[in-house]
Amino acid sequence: MKPFTCPCSNILFFENTQCLKCGSNVGYDAASDSMKIIEPEGKLKQCANGTQHGVCNWLVPADSANPLCDACQLNRTIPDLSVQGNGERWARMEASKRRVAYSMHHLGLPIIPRTQDAETGLIFDFLQPMPGAPVITGHDFGIITLNMEEADDAIRESNRQKFREPHRSLVGHFRHELAHYYWWVWFEKGTIDIELLNSFREVFGDERQDYGTALNNYYNGGPPSGWQGTHISEYSTAHPWEDWAETWAHYLHMTDALETADTFGLSAGRQHVPVTRFPKESVSLPAPFANVDPGAFMDILYHWAMLTPAINEMSLSLGQRDLYPFVLTPPIVRKLHFIHCAMERVSGKMTEKKPVFNLWSVLRRKAA
């Protein structure tokens, strides 16, 4: 996430509703990708979920028939606000959702609400579990359900330890479930051709294995030993769909954090870059990406390898745990590359096939 600037020249952040220097009420305008001042008779007004519930700082055109912003239009069910604490929990959920919506927009994959696309649009349901009626966070045919309890820090921390998920977070939930949603849109609703599906199966495994059985096996037996060599998380070993979702979420962690680092001018010494960790074979993919120029992806990987030791040490310096407790191995890197390529292809950012070139020369050039 990048920092923004108020017209008064003060720095503003994505979540701000007021400039602390000039006192103006501000909000995020997705159309111009900037923070704008809300003028009394201006062209922009705050989203109704902001004015009514204090959970949104995005703006909508003042003459818009829909009082909700692009992110809030995705909601079908909002939480029961008569439950004590749900207002704060919902605000945390929405803040995370907006971050992820921002990322997807910037990746060229804007999230379309079901109200605009009855076939493949997305819906969010924020549900409060009740005795005898549990809520399972998940995706199903374009509907993402969020269990409101996850926005409770104590409950989420308890789940984080119970499920051995070092990175369990609200933003992570949105990224993970969106991955399932895009898989559904691309592979089941048929945006993507069979060649890519075959490629997916070669990289992540065959998703036609029974999902329910696979999950049961995972919860009963845990991950296979040595999973760290091939999977980004324990849970990603449960089924190829979960591997896709976990790896996709990880790719978004990387690209969002790199945007933050780039725009805040953070960088770490290149002497820490383990350039030899990823041999050429680690990123080569089957068709349709067999001849894709991996330069852009290697750039991401290179900067990531440069940044992560620094952010871990920064976090430890501040008395916190490692911010990035992961090790990227060649098989994981290859999956990340697949996701990078699939996103580029669908968003139309992928340039035409280029001749294969020697990755090592790129790495050496970077390291020089």
Q: Quick check: 251 and 336 in contact, CB under 8 A?
A: yes
Nearer to Zn ion, 8 or 31 (CB): 8
Nearer to Zn ion, 19 or 342 (CB): 19
Nearer to Zn ion, 56 or 359 (CB): 56
21 forms part of the interface with Zn ion (CB under 5 A): yes
DSSP 135-202: ---EEETTEEEEEGGGGSHHHHHHHHHHTT-TT--HHHHHHHHHHHHHHIIIIIS-SS-HHHHHHHHH
CB of residue 192 vs Zn ion: minimum separation in angstroms?
19
The one-character DSSP state at 326 is -
336 forms part of the interface with Zn ion (CB under 5 A): no
Nearer to Zn ion, 69 or 342 (CB): 69
Q: Which stretch binds Zn ion (CB under 5 A): 65-73, 199-207, 270-278, 336-344?
A: 65-73
- Helix (H) and strand (E) counts for the chain? 10, 10
Other beta carbons within 10 angstroms of residue 280's beta carbon come to 14
Q: Which stretch binds Zn ion (CB under 5 A): 58-66, 163-171, 194-202, 205-213?
A: 58-66
Cα gap 62→319, rounded to integer Å: 45
Query: Distance between alpha carbon 306 and the CA centroid of its chain, in Å?
Result: 21
Nearer to Zn ion, 6 or 283 (CB): 6
CB of residue 316 vs Zn ion: minimum separation in angstroms?
30
Residue of the chain from 4, 28, 58, 289 that contacts Zn ion (CB under 5 A):
58
Cβ neighbours for 140, distance < 8 A, ≥ 6 positions apart: none
CB of residue 47 vs Zn ion: minimum separation in angstroms?
3
Cα gap 99→96, rounded to integer Å: 5
Q: Which stretch binds Zn ion (CB under 5 A): 10-18, 155-163, 221-229, 313-321?
A: 10-18
CB of residue 159 vs Zn ion: minimum separation in angstroms?
14
Cα gap 208→241, rounded to integer Å: 10
CB of residue 46 vs Zn ion: minimum separation in angstroms?
8
Residue of the chain from 4, 19, 109, 344 that contacts Zn ion (CB under 5 A):
19
Nearer to Zn ion, 28 or 289 (CB): 28
Residue of the chain from 35, 44, 59, 72 that contacts Zn ion (CB under 5 A):
72
Q: Which of residues 228-287 bind Zn ion (CB under 5 A)?
A: 242, 245
Residue 190, CA distances (Å) to 11, 182, 280, 352, 360 in order: 43, 11, 31, 22, 36
8 forms part of the interface with Zn ion (CB under 5 A): yes
- Tokens coding 189: 């609703």
Residue of the chain from 35, 38, 44, 56 that contacts Zn ion (CB under 5 A):
56
Q: Which of residues 90-149 bind Zn ion (CB under 5 A)?
A: none
57 forms part of the interface with Zn ion (CB under 5 A): no
Nearer to Zn ion, 24 or 308 (CB): 24
Other beta carbons within 10 angstroms of residue 31's beta carbon come to 11
Q: Quick check: 55 and 87 in contact, CB under 8 A?
A: yes
Give SS3 for 244.
helix
Residue 20 Rama label (left phi>0; alpha psi -120 to 50; beta) = alpha
355, HSE (Cβ side, Cα atoms, 13 Å): 2
Cα gap 106→296, rounded to integer Å: 16
CB of residue 355 vs Zn ion: minimum separation in angstroms?
37
47 forms part of the interface with Zn ion (CB under 5 A): yes
Nearer to Zn ion, 27 or 294 (CB): 27
Residue of the chain from 49, 75, 120, 308 that contacts Zn ion (CB under 5 A):
49
Residue of the chain from 35, 44, 59, 69 that contacts Zn ion (CB under 5 A):
69
Cα gap 72→67, rounded to integer Å: 9
Peptide bond into 331 cis (omega under 30): no
Q: Which stretch binds Zn ion (CB under 5 A): 71-79, 126-134, 199-207, 329-337?
A: 71-79
Q: Which residues bind Zn ion (CB under 5 A)?
A: 6, 8, 10, 19, 21-22, 47, 49, 56, 58, 69, 72, 242, 245
